[in-house]
Amino acid sequence: MVARTTRFRFPLNAPVSVKSALKAAAPVLRQDRPIFGIVLINFAVVVFTGMDGVIKGVSETFPTGELVFFRNLFAFAPILGFMIWQGRVSLRTRHLGGHLLRGLFGVSAMYCFFLSYKLLPLSDAIALGLSGPIFLTVLSIPFLAEHVGVRRWSACIVGFIGVLIMTRPGAGVWQVEALVPLLGAVFYAFAMISIRRLTDTESSGTIVFYFTFFATLAGLATAPLGAVYPDLAWVWPSSTEWLIVAAIGLMGGSAQILMTIAYRCAPVSVVAPFDYMSLVYGFTIGFLFFAEIPDAYLIVGGATVVASGIYIVHRETVVARQRRRQQAESPLPVEA
């Protein structure tokens, strides 16, 4: 990590007992607790999917831009609290442009996903949104100069077939609305590419903070649009609705923390596949709260996309391991 950021530190004359106590309180996060990591990632996915369900439930009341605003505004509380508890709050950066680019792509993806919950059944929107790793693999070639071999290309093709099964173009049931979560998946891929570039010099806390800050402002910027487009006019929440929109942000921020700890407790190859449990949880929430019954096309297509994504994660892990072993021995690219 290049020391280009300023971390929050205690004064040099702080009592030794205070510094020792806080150091002891900071969590020890290492990649040697796979079971704990799996439990945490499942909790994170449950909370994220529950948040999606809440957003769908109020999507007819609040415009999408307002929901993006509340999602990020109230997420500040758990995120900043966690960063301060760890004693690693980094705000200074020399890569503001990179943070803005990551924020632009991330907010665009969030907006598309939130809008898709309004336009589509929850399980459909989640299943189509899970195509993000497919687009990430394809876009990593021109933007990250990564070598993608025949195996990952095959996984991408299979995943794309899964998307076609879910959307069923030409079968008389094609919905233009299906393009919204797919566009969100593309923006998600670009956001992940931006994060990969930022992680060379920026801490994860800095990246999360600036994204949350940017997303809050981006959501707020949609407020004046209601004067031109009545459907986008913001609605002042009632006392009960304030609790709901606050819960959306707290759930999002808390799930982000759980996911961060999970990825630190276990390798990516162990944790990442459980992200796809959101499809199962989405099916369950959609059935219980919105009377949604997924058809065979969605189940088969969604399972195909999930299998493709899991294999892509597996191959990326294998390739990264082989690259580390061969880096000093051979300049030739590793087959992916």
On whether residue 31 sits in a domain, the answer given is: no
pLDDT, greater one: 8 or 148: 148
Structure tokens at 322: 């082989």
Q: What is the pLDDT of residue 9?
A: 35
DSSP 145-192: -----HHHHHHHHHHHHHHHHHH-TTTT---GGGHHHHHHHHHHHHHH
What is the distance between the alpha carbons of residues 76 and 289, in angstroms, rounded to a whole number?
28
Domain membership of residue 14 (yes or no) is no
Model confidence band, residue 24 (pLDDT cutoffs 50, 70, 90): very low
pLDDT computed for residue 328 by the predictor: 60
Domain residue limits at 123: 39-326
In a domain, 322, yes or no: yes
Instruction: Answer whether residue 62 shows pLDDT above 50.
Output: yes
Mean pLDDT calculated for residue range 153-174: 78
Answer whether residue 33 is part of any domain. Answer: no
Number of domains in the chain: 1
In a domain, 128, yes or no: yes
Q: Is residue 298 part of a domain?
A: yes
Task: Decide if pLDDT at 324 tops 90.
Answer: no
The tokens describing 239, both together, are: 């006392």
Report whether 186 contacts 135 (CB < 8 A). yes
At residue 19, does pLDDT exceed 70? no
**175-208 pLDDT, tens digit each:** 788 899 999 999 999 999 999 888 888 888 888 8
pLDDT at position 31: 58
Q: Which of 220-224, 229-233, 315-319 has the lowest mean pLDDT?
A: 315-319
pLDDT band at 243; cut points 50, 70, 90:
very high
Q: Does any domain span residue 265? A: yes
Average pLDDT over residues 30-50: 88
Amino acid at 174: W
Note the pLDDT of residue 170: 53
For residue 74, what pLDDT is reported?
97
Domain annotation covers residue 4: no
pLDDT for residue 321 is more than 50:
yes
Residue 164 above 80 pLDDT?
A: yes
- Check if the beta carbon of residue 212 is closer than 8 Å to that of residue 75: yes
Span 301-313, mean pLDDT?
90
Mean pLDDT over each residue of the chain, to the nearest integer: 84
pLDDT surpassing 70 at residue 27: no
pLDDT category of residue 128 using cuts at 50, 70 and 90: very high
CA–CA distance, 59 with 46 (Å, rounded to integer): 20
Of the listed ranges 186-195, 274-283, 316-325, the one predicted with least confidence: 316-325
Q: How confident is the model at residue 166 (pLDDT cuts 50, 70, 90)?
A: confident
pLDDT at residue 194, rounded to an integer: 93
d(CA 140, CA 159): 16
Lowest mean pLDDT among 187-196, 215-224, 239-248, 266-275: 266-275
Alpha-carbon gap, residue 13 to 324, rounded angstroms: 42
At 223, give phi and psi (nearest 5°).
-60, -45
